[in-house]
């Protein structure tokens, strides 16, 4: 085991925080629509929209949005990170960098748009030269993501014939901080007092001689950010408005919590299965 750890330690390299986008930040989208809402593209036919089918629907410049009676629409630009709410009995036109009122009220909204970052893309952690997923061992989680937990569950798939014992190794700054041997399982809970907030880690699964090593990387968020995510999670429950849940998803993605963001996307798809705009997101 000692020799195995030494070999693994030698393969570790510096890792960097980068982004891996799942959604291009280049267009207006519907984040929420309640009441009787009609949208008319420039030169096109009018269509009625609602949350069930229209979340994350693209809105072209020049479109007119009308709220008939009580209701509202939240429109967000993933490019400029602007958000606007069209209120009761109001009509507005979507322009390049704003939503202009034609009748009634249109108010800028804060907290609905994705927070400023790297183009609104799903953030992730990647590592140069140490992301081997080609063998019979495949890491599932956490991989290329920021996490909140200090004792996360490491998960993987073991499709190696005849391999019962696996070595789990966690490194930080090319130094081994934890190692363990597991038998016939596909997960391992990191013990307490191993990981520290604000640090980046490489973890590896090793099947022994003759089998490839599978490796991935993750980062533990700073304490302040961990608290912020915990608070945001409480306010973005399944009973929250769709626009708030979408804003929370982009909050997570922009901060690098790619796995948590994808979990939220999955929940939204389950809640709104007919929303084609949600299905378009990888």
* More confident of the two residues 260 and 117: 260
- Domain limits, the chain: 1-24+114-282, 28-108
Query: Is residue 181 classed as helix, strand or coil in its secondary structure?
Result: strand
What are the CA-CA distances from residue 162 to residues 108, 181, 211 (Å)?
A: 61, 16, 11
pLDDT 10s digits, 237-250 = 877 899 999 989 98
Taking a C-beta distance cutoff of 8 angstroms, is the pair 30, 51 a contact? no
Most confident by average pLDDT, 28-42, 71-85, 210-224: 28-42
Mean pLDDT for the stretch of residues 73-100: 93
CB 74 within 8 A of CB 49: no
Least confident of 82-86, 150-154, 159-163, 176-180: 159-163
pLDDT in tens, 255-267: 999 999 999 999 9
This prediction has a pTM of 0.78
CATH H-level, domain 1-24+114-282: superfamily: Immunoglobulins (2.60.40.10)
CA–CA separation, 202 vs 244, rounded Å?
33
> Which residues, 6 or more positions from 157, have their beta carbon under 8 angstroms from its beta carbon?
137, 138, 140, 186
- Kindly state the average pLDDT of the residues 70-93: 93
CA distance linking residue 252 with residue 240, whole number of Å: 16
Helix (H, G, I), strand (E, B) or coil at 117: coil
Mean pLDDT (the chain) is: 82
pLDDT of residue 160: 80
């Amino acid at each position: 085991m000692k020799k195995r750890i030494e070999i693994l330690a030698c393969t570790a390299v510096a890792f960097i925080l980068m982004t891996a986008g799942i959604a291009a930040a280049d267009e207006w989208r519907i984040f929420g629509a309640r009441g009787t809402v009609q949208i008319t593209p420039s030169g096109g036919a009018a269509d009625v929209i609602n949350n069930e089918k229209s979340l994350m629907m693209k809105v072209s410049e020049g479109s007119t949005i009308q709220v008939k009676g009580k209701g509202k629409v939240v429109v967000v630009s993933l490019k400029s990170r602007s958000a606007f709410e069209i209120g009761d009995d109001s009509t507005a036109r979507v322009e390049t960098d704003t939503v202009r009122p034609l009748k009634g009220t249109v108010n800028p909204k804060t907290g609905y748009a994705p927070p400023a970052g790297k183009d609104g893309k799903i953030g992730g952690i990647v590592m140069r030269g140490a992301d081997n997923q080609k063998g019979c061992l495949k890491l599932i989680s956490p991989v290329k993501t920021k996490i909140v937990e200090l004792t996360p569950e490491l998960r993987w798939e073991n499709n190696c014939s005849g391999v019962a014992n696996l070595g789990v190794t966690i490194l930080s700054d090319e130094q081994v901080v934890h190692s363990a041997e597991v038998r016939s399982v596909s997960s391992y809970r990191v013990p307490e007092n191993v990981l520290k907030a604000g640090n980046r880690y490489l973890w590896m699964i090793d099947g022994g001689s003759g089998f490839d090593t599978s490796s991935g990387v993750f980062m533990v968020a700073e304490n302040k950010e961990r608290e912020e995510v915990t608070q945001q999670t409480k306010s973005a429950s399944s009973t929250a408005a769709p626009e708030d849940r979408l804003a929370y998803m982009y909050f997570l993605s922009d901060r690098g919590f790619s796995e948590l963001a994808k979990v939220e996307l999955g929940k939204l798809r389950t809640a709104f299965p007919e929303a084609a705009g949600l299905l378009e997101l990888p």
